[in-house]
């Protein structure tokens, strides 16, 4: 589940200002950790894209999110686990936008789920408290939620001051 080694980092000069440099991976990790909102793109069984905002937690080299078992994204993931997660800013001249490509895999280990539940509550407050059931998060009001981890295959970073495109590839 975790990305144990540093990725290969490459600045794409075609899409970068002449004075731009590749963004260091730790900078991207910091933003992935601190982001409050992510956009998840999945593929419907009929091949149409589905995009939805959600909250998540970066931990152990993977971005984690949860979803109810009957939600559209859960149905899509059962048929095709390939996803894209994005986060960043809506500003044209500042910030760093990130695009994470990978495969969503279920997290069912109770110990790992407890650790993630604590991370969710620490990041988002007690409003996002989850208990751990049999391979799922449980919320007394909302019910069960499957938890997924996305270990990146490729991450793109789009810097805006100066403009740059950095690609991180994982083995």
Q: Could you give the CA distance from residue 74 to residue 43 in angstroms, rounded to a whole number?
A: 11
Q: DSSP for 86-104, please give it.
A: EE--S-SSSSEEEEEEEEE
Residue 2's pLDDT is 43
Q: What is the mean pLDDT of residues 103-126?
A: 97
Ramachandran bin of 116, using left for φ above 0, alpha for ψ from -120 to 50, beta for the remaining angles: alpha
Q: Any idea which residue has 């931990």 for tokens? A: 59
Residue 141's pLDDT is 86
pTM of the model: 0.94
**What are phi and psi for residue 63, nearest 5 degrees?**
-95, 125
Cα 103 from chain centre? 10
Residues 136-163: pLDDT tens digits? 999 988 899 999 999 999 999 999 999 9
Instruction: Give me the architecture of the 8-169 domain, per CATH.
Output: Roll (2.30)
Residue 12's pLDDT is 96
Residue 142's pLDDT is 86
Across the chain, mean pLDDT equals 95
Q: Could you give the CA distance from residue 88 to residue 1 in angstroms, rounded to a whole number?
A: 24
Residues 77-110: pLDDT tens digits? 999 999 999 999 999 999 999 999 999 999 999 9
Residue 3's pLDDT is 44
> Hey, where are the domains in the chain?
8-169
Residue 5's pLDDT is 72
Residues 56-66: pLDDT tens digits? 999 999 999 99
In the DSSP assignment, the letter for residue 151 is E
């Amino acid at each position: 589940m975790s990305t144990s080694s540093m990725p290969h980092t490459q600045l794409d000069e075609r899409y970068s200002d002449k004075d731009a440099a590749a963004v260091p991976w730790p900078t991207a990790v910091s933003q992935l950790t601190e982001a409050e909102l992510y956009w998840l793109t999945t593929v419907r069984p009929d091949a149409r894209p589905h995009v939805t905002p959600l909250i998540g937690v970066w931990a152990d080299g993977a971005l984690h999110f949860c979803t109810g078992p009957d939600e559209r994204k859960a149905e899509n993931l059962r048929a095709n686990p390939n996803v894209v997660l994005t986060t960043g800013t809506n500003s044209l001249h500042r910030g760093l936008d990130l695009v994470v490509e990978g495969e969503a895999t279920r997290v069912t280990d109770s110990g790992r789920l407890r650790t993630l539940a604590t991370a969710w509550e620490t990041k988002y407050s007690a409003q996002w408290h989850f208990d751990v059931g049999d391979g799922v998060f449980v919320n007394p009001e909302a019910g069960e939620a499957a938890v997924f981890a996305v270990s990146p295959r490729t991450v793109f970073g789009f810097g805006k001051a100066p403009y740059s495109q950095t690609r991180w590839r994982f083995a």
